Chains A and B, each alone.
Chain A
Amino acid sequence: MLNFTEKTKQSFNIVADHLLAKLEKNEAANVNLHAEESLFVRFNANKVRQNTHVEQRSLTLTLQKDGKTANISFSITGEVDEDKQRVEFWLDQARQECALLPEDPYQVAIVNNGTSDNTFKGSLLKDEDVIKAITTPAAGADFAGLYCAGPIISANKNSAGQSHWFATENFFVDYSLYMGEKAVKSIYAGTHWDQKAFDASIAQSKNQLSLMDRPKKVLQPGAYRTYLAPGAVAELASMFSWGALSFNAHKQGGSALMKLADKEKSLSPLFNMRENYGMGLTHRYNSLGELAPETLGLITKGQLDSYVISSRSAKEYGVQSNAGDSHEGPRAMEILPGALKKDDILKELGTGLYLSNLHYLNWSDRLNARITGMTRYACFWVENGEIVAPIADLRFDESLFDCLGENLLAVTDFQEVDPMVSTYESRALGGKKVPGMLIKDFKFTL
């Protein structure tokens, strides 16, 4: 009997080919598949709050006809006969859309960008074993979080003969341990469940939590020497995906890195960011099936190397695409390491703040790349290289041009992977790889 991935591959190939064969001479089409079979188990106080199993498949059809573009997404079932009827219905709807819409001047021609076929088989927990595997090592702790696992599939075909298939079986446990209001957070993720590794992750979190068993130190607003651990840097770096590196946003006045692009401002020579698909966190092809370069420098030695540019923007503005997807954000972001060794972090920090994580970031002044947000989880006050106490939450309001500019003192020589754990509507692929950073005068306001 075929498993979910095998069955989906078989039915997708038949159904997508059926759709493409129905096209008329003046039509071209691109088809994307998302499919997943997921188990979600939500925990609170090391008990199960909710468990949800989800099996879902959807197709996204882009039809081009007479210079018009229609995009339609729809659910499919995995059953070939039913899905053939559905694609015929939605192809007809797409034709009706094209008839009503104005011409699309920035339509990107559908061409054959090649073929790829990758299936990564994992070794996941059996569904019925999940709860024991999670709750046993967490016993005695106030454990809250989410276990998520199963196959996830992305595939693409188009009328020019292009074909991509990417399937993987992965999992994550995104969790926190609590001591009253104090907490530490960790993510255990991968493709092969290793109970010993998960037990070790929980044990490490319990150890970190014991460091917090001291009264909280309440700090006044001000500028503090601050170490951002990789988890905190990952949160900060997520803002680069929020329009900052989008070429389209730049042209429309919405990029927070406008002053970097115009060389009015610069970041530190210690700051280097690139796209790196070699990390293996997601596939290289975008929704048009275009292959992004294996690596792409975005910010090198503090200077903007390249925005992320989609083919649609490239056509609109007469520049070269680098196979960005429509949102034009990094999909495989890496911030390169520096020279600060793990054992020297507290010594180099001296007296200041050690921040494990940040929370709820937003632009407070986009033009000046200024961001506000909160400290969260294991955050400590450090004096003379020694952790003194956990801190009461602080709000920061800080420009990237300052904290990643002349105030960036050092970057760690190690990086950590921050896997994508977003599950809005469906499970996402991807993630980031980032180091820790030591920063002078990080500004806290409340």
Chain B
Amino acid sequence: MDLQRTLHTLKGSADWVSLRHVTEKTTYRMVRDEKPDRNVISFDQGVMVEVLVNGHFGFSGTSDLSGTGIKRALDKAIMMAKAASSHKVHNFSVDQRPVAQGSYKSPVVKPLDSFSAKEISDIFVDATRAMKVSDKIVSRSATAMIVETHFHTVTSSGSDFEQSFSIVNTDFSATAAAGGETQTRSDSGGLARCLQVGAEVFDRASILERSKKLAEEAVELLSAENCPDTSMDLLLAPDQMTLQVHESIGHPLEYDRILGDERNYAGWSFVKPDDFGHLQYGSKLMNVTFDPTIEDALASYAFDDSGHPATKEFLIHNGLLVRGLGGLESQSRLNLPGVANSRSSSWNRAPIDRMANINLEPGTSKLEDMIASVERGVFMLANKSWSIDDYRNKFQFGCEYGKLIENGKLTKTVKNPNYRGTTVKFWNNLKAVSENRETFGSPYCGKGEPNQVIRVGHTTPYCLFADVEVFGA
């Protein structure tokens, strides 16, 4: 649709107006036990009208893209913004909506439309066949969630920016059962493999190799011992570090949580405004960034939804907390520097502070040296359970697969590996960070009232922590 033309035809008593048009096509392809299980295409589109009236931003979204529909949305937004402005939480200005012009596109080697439903289905049938490594395998699945989305924003102050994202999330999973025991292995945790890419991600050889390996590991886990109940060194792989970073760094640093906006739903934060510049969040090996520039990461972009240009920023430097995750509205409320992370899930939700790509910067250790340094510990991979309190302090996470580390060597496989701890103590026990790292993410980070699911990316190294409480089932 011609958004500029629509904007110029609108008349209303707002101090500032924005139109954000979003189209999103999501395609699910799922094969289970070599048979089609779920083939769903979802195409969503609408326009969010945003206004500034008396220092308060009001929002109204509609799937009726006619001139009448958008005018009705504008009138609603103005009416409610006026009604709310006498009880507004803060006096905002158009400074929180900088003029932005430009565009962004995901890096794509092979366009998504160059790969047909049949080709994906054929690979996935073969992938589930490759998982048939034993009679003990009771369920085999291959899933892809393919997203093509386009955001276009124009404003009465002259912004005009467009961002197109090409996203593929995949998961391959096998469940083994025998003797009253059931174990599942997936491809780095449910849908953790999610990137801004094209059809090049459907590499048959790699998929078949990974599928076979994870099925073998599911069978291996059936006869493994439980993870011991004790305190010891804990080595986490990047596919579990993703969750650790997300829950115990990303969320507690979101300014809207610190400000209390999110208290009634997902919770608050143990971090206080005065902690920035003072709190030793972790050991000196800990360097965490907000980085929307990682080429294929799930939450890379050029502008947030307020038009703020996105740049890489250090959040934690040598273990010291230096910056939080808040867009221009939260920065104005807290009088603290933040980042470009004011993001909405779609046209029908208002932007809120979101973590985007939160990454742990690489260290200098080699993985083999990290393992060699451990006298008694456990190595855990692939998240399967997550829970953390509303202040993001006391956490408990579980993984799919574990290996004991004894006298500097990986030894026995252990099943049901879990660990728990408290955020700052845990991160201060970080004692080694690998030089190599991997990128994962999640398409399902839930937050906000009304609720919003948004995409986040995490690029992390392997990390070794001292003295962590671990346990099995």
Contacts and interface: CB of A to CB of B under 8 A. Distances in A.
B41 A93 contact: yes
Nearest to B86: A131
Interface residues of A, number: 89
Contact of A365 (B62, B77, B416): B416
A316 B79 CA distance: 53
A370 interface: yes
B64 A55 contact: yes
B396 interface: yes
Contact of B182 (A57, A104, A181, A253): A253
A100 B119 CA distance: 9
Contact of B59 (A50, A175, A181, A374): A50
A75 B63 contact: yes
A105 B175 contact: no
A58 B26 CA distance: 14
Nearest to B80: A51
B182 A258 contact: yes
Contacts of A130: 83
A324 B46 CA distance: 31
Contacts of B182: 253-254, 258, 366-367
Nearest to B50: A52
Contacts of B58: 51-52
Interface string A40-66: 111011111111111111100000000
B432 to A, nearest CB: 25
A423 B348 CA distance: 11
B220 to A, nearest CB: 16
Contacts of A258: 182
Interface stretch (B309-317, B405-413, B450-458): B450-458
Contacts of A50: 57, 59, 350, 352
Interface string B170-193: 000001110011101000000000
A70 B39 contact: yes
Contact of A73 (B42, B139, B180): B42
A406 interface: no
Contacts, number: 257
Contacts of B116: 100
Contacts of A41: 80, 84
B390 A359 contact: yes
A66 B432 CA distance: 58
A290 B81 CA distance: 43
Interface centre among B42, B65, B77 (most CB of A within 10 A): B42
A82 B396 contact: no
A279 to B, nearest CB: 23
B65 A101 contact: no
A146 B473 contact: no
Interface string A409-424: 0000000000000111
B181 to A, nearest CB: 7
Interface centre among A52, A131, A181 (most CB of B within 10 A): A52
A40 B59 CA distance: 10
A53 B89 contact: no
Say whether chain A's binding surface is mostly helix, strand, loop, or mixed.
strand
Contacts of B264: 144-146, 174-176, 185
A260 to B, nearest CB: 13
B372 interface: no
A72 B43 contact: yes
B125 interface: yes
Interface string A12-29: 000000000000000000
Nearest to B57: A50
Nearest to A72: B41
Contact of B76 (A53, A56, A372): A53
Contacts of B396: 364, 372, 395, 397, 445-446
A90 B45 CA distance: 14
B431 interface: no
Nearest to B226: A365
B178 to A, nearest CB: 10
A425 interface: yes
B89 A144 contact: no
Contacts of A40: 449-450
Nearest to B29: A101
Interface string A250-285: 011110001100001000000000000000000000
Contacts of A370: 473
Contacts of B69: 55, 77-79
Contacts of B66: 77, 79, 82
Nearest to A128: B83
Contacts of A361: 387
Contacts of B117: 97, 100-101
Given A72-B40, A362-B387, A393-B389, A423 B450 contact: yes
Sorted nearest first, the 8 A-B pairs with minimum C-beta distance are A252-B139, A146-B449, A423-B450, A365-B473, A48-B84, A53-B60, A52-B59, A100-B117
30 contacts: A38-B450, A42-B261, A51-B59, A51-B83, A52-B61, A52-B349, A53-B59, A53-B60, A54-B62, A54-B348, A54-B450, A72-B41, A73-B41, A74-B43, A77-B63, A78-B63, A79-B64, A93-B41, A97-B117, A102-B125, A144-B263, A181-B391, A252-B32, A253-B177, A253-B184, A360-B389, A360-B390, A362-B385, A395-B387, A397-B396
